[in-house]
């Protein structure tokens, strides 16, 4: 991420992530929405470093409506929906597969 502050704001305000306790001072960790207990770290990196984050959701139609309500433009893809964060990273929402 070139701008960890903008990324943190985007993920918390738009996608429902929450600030989480880091292991060391200066680290930025976020917990994923829901009760999975999973964390991601936001780090400042040089230009050109991007990633894709895949999140499974139970209903793509509802997710699309929620993203639109949040002012995000979701792009329909073969496997789901995607949005781009402020750093140019792609967040892909795919339907949860039944077990």
Q: What is the CATH number of domain 4-95?
A: 3.10.180.10
CA distances from 59 to 7, 48, 75 (A): 25, 32, 15
For residue 48, is pLDDT > 70?
no
Does the pTM exceed 0.75?
no
Annotated domain spans of the chain: 4-95
* pLDDT, tens digit (0-9, with 9 covering 90-100), for 56-88: 888 999 999 999 999 999 999 887 999 999 888
DSSP-derived letter for residue 32 is: P
How far is the C-alpha of 80 from the C-alpha of 90, rounded, in Å?
12
Task: Give the neighbor-by-neighbor strand order of the sheet with 28-31.
Answer: 18-20, 28-31, 39-42
* pLDDT, tens digit (0-9, with 9 covering 90-100), for 7-31: 889 999 999 999 988 777 778 888 8
Q: How confident is the model at residue 1 (pLDDT cuts 50, 70, 90)?
A: low
């Amino acid at each position: 991420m070139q701008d960890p502050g903008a990324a943190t704001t985007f993920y918390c305000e738009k996608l429902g992530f929450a600030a989480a306790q880091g292991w060391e001072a200066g680290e930025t960790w976020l917990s994923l929405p829901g009760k999975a207990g999973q964390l991601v770290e936001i780090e400042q990196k040089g230009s050109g470093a991007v990633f894709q984050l895949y999140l499974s959701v139970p209903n793509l139609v509802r997710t699309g409506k929620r993203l639109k309500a949040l002012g995000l433009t979701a792009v329909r893809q073969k496997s789901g929906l995607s949005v781009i964060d402020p750093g140019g990273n792609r967040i892909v929402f795919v339907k949860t597969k039944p077990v």
